[in-house]
Structure 1
Amino acid sequence: MDLGTVLTVVELVQKAIAIYERIESLPQQMAQMGRRMEDLNVFLVRLQNFLEREAENNKKAKNDKKPRTQLLSGQLDDLRRLLGRIKTNAEKVYDVFDRYKSGILSRSKDLTFRSPWMTQLWFSLVDSSADKIQAIIDDIDQQRSLLRDYLVLMAVEKAYEPRPGRSLEKTTLAVPTRRAPPSPSPTPPRRDYKILFVDPYNEARSVIAEALLKLLGQLTLKARGDWRIAEVHSAGFFAKRKSECVDVIDGLDYSDKTFRLPWRSSSKSPDAMALSAVFDNKWADYPFKEDIRNEITERTSRGMMKNVFSRFDFVFVFTIRDHDNMIKLKDALLKKEGADAAPRCKGRVLQLGTYLAQKRGQVQEILHPLEKKDPKKDREGWNKQVSEIRTALKGFLKQEMKWTPPDDKSAASTS
């Protein structure tokens, strides 16, 4: 990834933010656009810091390699195109704010307003109509969402943690931000999160993760703990049954030819040995375990729905391939269905292996046992897989949901 390209985009975004900060009074919708640019800037700065660190490490190692990004060439091309779209929007936003601040009616004809109230009237009714500004805001939201997904794919969030002895302030490029007045009372934590697990065919890993998270939820509730997840489901990217995205997925420009897998049309039940590894043990050995087992066993594989990114808060995948395919699908649905296909703060795509203990700046793939170099087709292989997924889920719950693990004694005392 070219650091110079990122620096150019960051400079333009911060230039737009700087002029937004200098305007004392703005219509509500234009102020909203400025705040969106501030949000976008956070992720761009993280990308910049990541690339600068990689360049610094290469310099110390005395090599001329470009910063490491863990992206394939096709993924890098997509990221460059995304940065180009962000750059275009930043230029539009700066122009809107600059003309508003200066009272410029037309740059081509060098016409200006004589009084501020005329400027506000013109921008409100004619030049920057609600539809025009909203279109820019929607674009920024989409670009921010996609950029965030790429940062996860590149493990930027892991690498962004400050180094020992180096404060966070020294790793960021801060710009002045408008601070909203403090809320009169703290907002109660959400308890309506919706989570989806996706693998290619919805027969093993995604089903395992769905079952394990439901079991963890019941254990938490049994111990009278705080459970903040309302729905848990799973799906298969290339499962044709009940899929609403077959045409869209067929039309994706895959980053690598191996990322496109064949469709499976038949409705298959979850892998029996995988489910045995989840349920045939002493862990979470309560009556609800059998209920969840029956629910999972009776269901069959299903494909992707068009509302995947608007319905679910977190969409978990297990490999780089699956992560990249989901980003492609999100981008395609945004272009086809509009901003409602992935509203702001919804449909966050994550690799579950992000939450496994590992070296900083790395994301561990959770491979199907048959995808590993030394596959174990027996129960031992699935036991290891289940343990890995359960560990990652606990890491996610602790980090994102502020979850306190229930112990067996607290759960048993309520039975």
Structure 2
Amino acid sequence: MALDLGTLVTAVELVQKIIALYQRIDSLPQQMTQLGRRMERLNIFLVRLESFVKKNNTKQPALAPGPLFSGQVEDLGKLLEGIKGNAAKVYDLFDRYEKGILSRSMNIEFRAKWMSQVWFSLVDSSPDKVQAIMEEIDYERGILSDYLGLMAIDKAHEESPGPSSPRSGRKAEKTGGNASGAVMKRPSPSPSRSPAPPRRSCKILFVDPYNEGRSVAAEALVKLLGQLTLKGHGDWRIADVCSAGFFAKNKGDCVDVIDGLDYSRRTFKLPWKPGAQSPSRMAMAAVFDNKWSDYPFKQDIRAEMTARTSCGMRKDMFTRFDFIFVFALREHDNMVKLREAVRKRVEAEGRVLARGKGRVLQLGAYLSRRKGAVREILNPPVTKDGKKNRENWNWKVSEIKTALKAFLKREMDWEQPNDKGTAMGKKTLEVGKA
């Protein structure tokens, strides 16, 4: 499915009709207020994408600056179709509420205002259904934000909705009623913060071609950050962290699927490594041979990481993990193609991939950007005689660690503990424990 400008325009127009309805209704149940705020935030990202596509006079962002490959364009097209479908459901909710219709299918209406208290417990509008829609919108907005970064769209648009957003004439402050009849103030939307609470019990996966270097280093660093956070009595929300290799056969069950992918470029398909590969000793030395996080748990994690062997891709990774991190544009395109191929196979078996899982991200999106571009975290360069260089790996691990900390702060509301690994740092943590 290609990215169609008509689908984008339709989605933008529908979302803005929802916002106009939301702003027109004087009282709303609490869940409807939350839903309206989500649509305002979604509108900001959609308007930025629409403006970018129209400015570049193309229906295919792959032809514009900050190119997307074919798998990414198809994935973005499916995303916009999903947004349009959910927007239609949300518009129906607000339209029925304004007109006093409990259910279109059963032709049930309410006329008295007090009936709004039971509106969400009847027929088409249960709290569970509305919550499911909100979670899908949060998920879709997150992926849309990822693609705006990949396309290098100017981040300045994020600070204001722009002239296309239907905000003119809005009251400075409105009130709304929740399901119990209590009156609440409706806060103005803040595009800088997500309306959803930070994820808890989150599972993340790091993937590079062979699961020997960058992916293993990232997994080790997250485990170290987790132990350091817990030692400092911080809030740690990562329940599981793993790594895998896209072209590693060991323990994988996607070999035939990966072989059958329609790669955007021939060079994107790499040779397979069939055996059980050990982590790069240079990468592990760059992670562990230093004074950072120098506590007993560091040696335990080192023993665990150096004893592991490479793991290939498995179909359940897209339902097991919340975030799947890659390190380069090529790897991102390959991964979204694999996710789509797995989805088709799963659906052919009468099953469905869970929504809200398997969000594919480039880790470099969390590094400082120049003109909005996402930085690739590539393999460290080798020396002139083809040997690996420890200094280059030190720099690469530092880059990965910086990106991981930014991810944790942005997505998990993580607060960095004292991580100096010095005697002073240990003393500070022991005082905190006491």
TM-score normalised over the length of structure 2: 0.69
User: Residues 266 and 179 (structure 1 numbering): CA distance in 2 closer, same or farther, change over 3 Å?
Assistant: farther
CA contact (8 A) 2:69 2:264 kept: yes
User: Residues 300 and 86 (structure 1 numbering): CA distance in 2 closer, same or farther, change over 3 Å?
Assistant: same
- Residue 51 of structure 2 is aligned to residue 52 of structure 1: yes
**Aligned-pair Cα RMSD in Å:** 4.9
User: After the TM superposition, which residues 393-412 of structure 1 pair with which residues of structure 2 at under 5 Å, given as runs?
Assistant: 393-400=404-411, 401-408=413-420, 409-412=424-427
User: Residues 172 and 274 (structure 1 numbering): CA distance in 2 closer, same or farther, change over 3 Å?
Assistant: farther
In 2, the alpha carbon distance for the partners of 1:261 and 1:40 equals: 41
User: After the TM superposition, which residues 208-223 of structure 1 pair with which residues of structure 2 at under 5 Å, given as runs?
Assistant: 208-223=217-232
In 2, the alpha carbon distance for the partners of 1:305 and 1:180 equals: 47
User: Residues 310 and 84 (structure 1 numbering): CA distance in 2 closer, same or farther, change over 3 Å?
Assistant: closer
In 1, the alpha carbon distance for the partners of 2:82 and 2:164 equals: 23
Q: Which moved more, 1:195-204 or 1:242-251?
A: 242-251
User: Partner of 2:68 in structure 1?
Assistant: 71
**Deviation (angstroms), 1:116:** 3.9
In 2, the alpha carbon distance for the partners of 1:7 and 1:331 equals: 24
User: Partner of 2:181 in structure 1?
Assistant: none
- Post-superposition Cα deviations, 1:113-170, rounded to whole Å, max 9, x if no partner, equal 6x748xxxxxxxxxx999xx98x9989977974674354144069856446xx95243
In 1, the alpha carbon distance for the partners of 2:319 and 2:177 equals: 27
**Deviation (angstroms), 1:402:** 3.1
61, 80, 84: which is aligned to 1:83?
80
CA contact (8 A) 1:334 1:342 kept: no
In 2, the alpha carbon distance for the partners of 1:404 and 1:79 equals: 34
User: After the TM superposition, which residues 15-414 of structure 1 pair with which residues of structure 2 at under 5 Å, given as runs?
Assistant: 15=17, 39=38, 42-43=41-42, 45-52=44-51, 67-73=64-70, 75-80=72-77, 82-84=79-81, 87=84, 116=109, 145=139, 148-149=142-143, 151-155=145-149, 159=153, 161-162=155-156, 168-170=160-162, 173=165, 181=178, 191-337=200-346, 341-344=353-356, 346-370=357-381, 377-400=388-411, 401-408=413-420, 409-414=424-429
Q: Which moved more, 1:5-14 or 1:137-146?
A: 137-146
CA contact (8 A) 1:319 1:366 kept: yes
The secondary structure found in structure 1 opposite 2:370 is coil
In 1, the alpha carbon distance for the partners of 2:153 and 2:131 equals: 29
User: Residues 21 and 358 (structure 1 numbering): CA distance in 2 closer, same or farther, change over 3 Å?
Assistant: closer
**Deviation (angstroms), 1:191:** 4.7
**Deviation (angstroms), 1:49:** 1.2
How many equivalent pairs are there? 386
User: Residues 179 and 251 (structure 1 numbering): CA distance in 2 closer, same or farther, change over 3 Å?
Assistant: farther
**Deviation (angstroms), 1:204:** 0.7
User: Residues 288 and 252 (structure 1 numbering): CA distance in 2 closer, same or farther, change over 3 Å?
Assistant: same
Unaligned stretches of 5+ residues in structure 2? 111-122, 179-183, 185-195
Q: Which moved more, 1:173-182 or 1:198-207?
A: 173-182
User: Residues 173 and 192 (structure 1 numbering): CA distance in 2 closer, same or farther, change over 3 Å?
Assistant: same
In 1, the alpha carbon distance for the partners of 2:337 and 2:297 equals: 38
User: Residues 198 and 414 (structure 1 numbering): CA distance in 2 closer, same or farther, change over 3 Å?
Assistant: same
In 2, the alpha carbon distance for the partners of 1:3 and 1:313 equals: 29
% identical aligned pairs: 49
CA contact (8 A) 1:49 1:171 kept: no
By percentage of residues, which structure has more helix? 1
CA contact (8 A) 2:27 2:175 kept: no
